Amino acid sequence: MIVELFILVILFLLAGTIFPLLAASLDRRSIRTISLSSIIIASVLLCGLSLLTLFSGEPVSFALYQPLSQFSLSFVIDRLASFFLLIIAVVSACVALYFTEYIEHMEGQSRRNLLCGSTSLFILAMVLVVASANTLSFFLFWELMAASSFLLVTYEYTHDETRKAGIFYFIMTQLSSLFVLLGIIVLYVLTGSLVISPLSAASAPLATVAFLLLFVGFSIKAGIIPFHKWLPYAHPASPSPISALMSGVMLKIAVYGLVRFLLDVFTPDLWWGLLILAAGTASAVLGIIYALKEHDVKGMLAYSSIENIGIIFMGIGLSVIFTATSLPLLATLSLLGALFHSLNHAMFKSLLFLTAGSVVTATHTRDIEHMGGLAHRMPVTSALFFIGAVSIAALPPLNGFASELLIFMSFFTSVAAVQPLFKVLLFICLALFALTSALSAACFVKAFGSIFLALPRSPECAAAREVPRAMLIGPGILAAACIFLGVCAIQIFAIVGFSVPLPDMLLVSLLLMGMAALTYALLYFTASREVRVSETWGCGTLSQQASAEYSGHGFSEPLDIIFSAIYRTRTTNERTFFDQKNCIFEKGKGEIRLLKVFEEYLYNPLAQQSLYLAGRISRFQNGCLDTYLLYVFITVIALIVFLGWFA
Amino acid sequence: MNLDFFLYLVINTIVVITVSPLFVSLIKKVKAWTQGRQGPSIFQTYFTLVKLLKKEVIYSPNSSRIMRVTPLVTMASILVAALFVPLVFVPETVGGIGNIILFLYLLALARFFMALAGLDAGSSFGGMGSSREMSISSIIEPTTIIVFAALAFVFKTLNIFDMFAISVSTGSPSPSTLILIAISLFIIIVVETSRIPVDNPETHLELTMIHEGMILEQSGRNLALMELSAAVKMTVLMALLINLIVPFGLISALTLAGILIAVFLFVVKGSILAGIIGLFESSMAKKRFFQLPSLFAMAFFFSTLIIIIEVFS
């Protein structure tokens, strides 16, 4: 049953990939709709499949194809895999639904067919990565995922910005693959097999090397600081539904990889947990601080993804720490928090990216300073974005809160258990975690306020209209999921078979609604019911001007100043003069620029070093036949000596 | 849900709504006395609320649905948060009501809506208030969570109901911890309820106002709700301090006489605390906005001290 369903999913996704490629030159809507529909069907099937295994809890393993005796394309769908398959399924279905309409508003005529095809391929690759039972096929599909996502990012390749983002993304994602591959090779050296199976305890030092390699590989893909820089480039450049897929799902695949290898392969040391926790905390805090400064709506969402992945890593790190200090209950609690936050982040971040895409389509700008007043013009989109914003700001009773609460709880209860020194460390991380979630509330007040409230700040924005229905239904399903996962969190955990110490959010939501209804009723019977719409006092101005509004920039100014140590700026001042005594001014240039710390102090020096090295190596390649003959000769001699020595 | 708990919901809500305006007036009265003025009557806040309820509501033409739902949502979430802190009667908790983190985030929910409403009409006053409020609340958050974590650590529970039950039955922890908890919670009250030196609740000058700036656009019954919810929020935070530090009079079995005595004792204790807050405010000057982080750092220090004392003792 499960196997047949899984094959059916693969076939539908393959059909979605191949069909638009066959008709690549035909610019017909029907072709794209058929391709996207097959994605939707595959997602629905995948959803059913993953729910079946999630509830039954019995792992299903099967091999599809065995080219070598050592290696087969075999798959395992256990609870962990099916959980991540569920994330892929829900988000893909909503994104594909949204895409059916969105793609018709895009440029590129028949090239759009290819976009559909690569989207389908991308989803297929992610499904196969998650289901892979051995390391080699895990890596192969990981590469397929990287390649297909590169195609998606560079869809609008005619823009310079997109090309630059695409290359940046490609290099980072290949680095990630390189580290994953090295990690897998070390594992193969250790065990001599490709199966994802537990390591024996004896192989400690090499196991640590393997873990570090895999950790770096997954961190690059997940966007953990300092490997995060591709996110704020790739997301604004790619089409919004693709951003939703990449941020909502692809980052989670990296999380899946980390969790899978930590649970099934390694027996983690305490300091691994500390490393993951530290990386997570740094990403969470810095991610949201950078997000506050960002005025490109998609760039801001990208930074906020870094923050949320940081939170997920904090949960995983805590879980590793508790496992290593033999506190299994707390370990489960924090791992559940991390996994639940992965699911929740997939829901609300895709929702936010999709609605941001609608806003960008309607206003033709990504700069939130040029938006405003869209709550009147796009009422449904604004309501959907609002639900996403409340979720991501971790406010009760929606889902972002439920998962952050789990992680908070594991912090709070952990302190009674571990050694004094760790307690202090955990308290520091807890304080930073609290700062993160409060800042994310500030960030999304700013985002929602600047985009949807007050007066429109550009003529395009004033002329914006609500988007077509398909672009509302897709995000609508995600918004419903956000509410459901938050309000019924404890019931969901109970059904899956975990009892978590969460408060009953259903009761809290009922109380909230009851109190609101009570207040409304009391006011209705006691207070005056008169309402007037009129100009309110604006300090003596005759009417409100959009230019006098509080801008997004102004909103984050106090936090800018408080965190000015992190937002480093560089001031340059160049002047030239007509005379030698520097008296008669000719021209000059003054500039205050936000310093891109990681790019200027980490990425660029590394890139320059590798360019320099590559330059040295390329000297061997001089294009002269004699030299190459010499190389061959030296190689042969070296081989003979080597074989004579060792064989 | 049992009968006791249902009665608790009713009693707690009624008590908190009736006594909160009194504490607000008391603080004003104390501040007036220290300035050598007579000051308004201690029932003035009740009169103001009744007056506001009779007035019409004016919405700016730019404002959206956010403006219209914010007073209701704010009131509802503050009232639910009030249920998390028993004022006079501690029942058995039901369904995790009383979770200290959820309590904190219910207050954050109200703040989120208020800040959006401040931005809604597009006036610069509202925007300024929202921006400052969100900034301050962000940087006080690490302190608040550490104080709450310290409470959870000291009382070995995450639930406010259980904390109160412990402090009533077995008495509080060591006096040194108690003093530090009291200082930290006091600072949190001052910050969360927008009092001097963080904010000045008396003025509508753009230089000082934070909370008042955010609700400048509100009028009529909506303003009444905002004012009342701010008062309730203050009472609830005061109750958290009072019932942890001086819990006597708090009852855990429901009797009519017990309730009346408990309410009376709570009003007395609350009035004393309100007096202290008033004196504290009168003795301080409003701090410049960007000096606030250093104040918060001090609060952070006190709260970390609790933990360090507890961890290493």
Any alpha helices (H) in A57-159, and if so which ranges?
A: 79-102, 111-131, 135-153
Please, which pLDDT band fits residue A315 given cuts at 50, 70 and 90?
Answer: very high
Contact A445 B119 (CB under 8 A): yes
Q: Does B307 touch chain A (CB under 8 A)?
A: yes
Which chain A residues are closer than 8 Å to B293 by Cβ? 562
Q: Does A532 touch chain B (CB under 8 A)?
A: yes
The predicted-structure confidence for A423-445, as pLDDT tens digits, reads as follows 888 888 999 999 999 999 999 99
Number of domains composing chain B: 1
Mutate to test the interface with B, among A371, A395, A536 (most CBs of B within 10 A): A536
Which chain B residues are closer than 8 Å to A411 by Cβ? 149
Which chain B residues are closer than 8 Å to A548 by Cβ? 124
Query: How much is the average pLDDT of A482-500?
Result: 91
Contact A424 B311 (CB under 8 A): yes
The predicted-structure confidence for A262-299, as pLDDT tens digits, reads as follows 998 888 888 999 999 999 999 999 999 999 988 899 99
Residue A513: closest C-alpha in chain B: B76
Q: Does A455 touch chain B (CB under 8 A)?
A: yes
Residues within 8 A of B (CB atoms), A 340-399 only? 372-373, 375-376, 382, 390, 393-396
The predicted-structure confidence for B266-278, as pLDDT tens digits, reads as follows 999 999 999 999 9
Query: Is residue A226 reached through a cis peptide bond, with omega within 30 degrees of 0 on the bond before it?
Result: yes
Closest CB to B221: pick one of A382, A424, A523. Answer: A523
What percent of chain A has pLDDT above 90? 61
Indicate if the pLDDT at residue A537 is higher than 80. no
Residue A202, pLDDT score = 58
Measured between alpha carbons, how far is B210 from A70 in angstroms, rounded to an integer?
68
Please, which pLDDT band fits residue A568 given cuts at 50, 70 and 90?
Answer: confident
Query: How much is the average pLDDT of A162-184?
Result: 94
Residue A553: closest C-alpha in chain B: B131
The predicted-structure confidence for A380-424, as pLDDT tens digits, reads as follows 999 999 999 999 999 988 999 999 999 999 988 876 666 777 888
Measured between alpha carbons, how far is B234 from B231 in angstroms, rounded to an integer?
5
Domain boundaries, chain A: 1-189, 267-518, 560-594, 597-646
Please, which pLDDT band fits residue B84 given cuts at 50, 70 and 90?
Answer: very high
Buried b (16+ CB within 10 A) or exposed e, B243-276: bbbbbebbbbeeeeebbeebbebbbebbbebbbe
Query: How much is the average pLDDT of B61-72?
Result: 92
What percent of chain B has pLDDT above 70? 96
Instruction: Note down the domain range covering B107.
Output: 3-312
Indicate if the pLDDT at residue A92 is higher than 90. yes
For residue A565, the SS3 value is coil
Measured between alpha carbons, how far is A547 from A564 in angstroms, rounded to an integer?
26
Contact A427 B146 (CB under 8 A): yes
Tell me the average pLDDT of chain A.
90
Contact A559 B135 (CB under 8 A): yes
Which chain A residues are closer than 8 Å to B304 by Cβ? 427
- Counting other chains too, the contacts that A144-151 makes at CB distance below 8 Å and 24 or more residues apart are A145/A250, A145/A253, A146/A173, A146/A174, A146/A176, A146/A177, A148/A118, A148/A121, A148/A122, A149/A122, A149/A173, A149/A242, A149/A246, A149/A250, A151/A114, A151/A118
Residue B206, pLDDT score = 61
Q: A108, A91, A200: which is closest to A162 by C-alpha? A: A108
Contact A395 B132 (CB under 8 A): no
The predicted-structure confidence for B106-125, as pLDDT tens digits, reads as follows 999 999 999 999 998 888 88
Query: How much is the average pLDDT of B187-207?
Result: 81
The predicted-structure confidence for B209-256, as pLDDT tens digits, reads as follows 788 888 888 899 999 999 999 999 999 999 999 999 888 888 888 888
Residue A386: closest C-alpha in chain B: B66
* pTM recorded for the entire structure: 0.94
Q: Does B280 touch chain A (CB under 8 A)?
A: no
Which chain B residues are closer than 8 Å to A382 by Cβ? 64
Which chain B residues are closer than 8 Å to A536 by Cβ? 58-60, 121, 123, 217, 219
Indicate if the pLDDT at residue B313 is higher than 70. no
Q: What DSSP string runs through A381-448?
A: HHHHHHHHHHHHTT-TTSHHHHHHHHHHHHHHHHTTTS-HHHHHHHHHHHHHHHHHHHHHHHHHHHHH
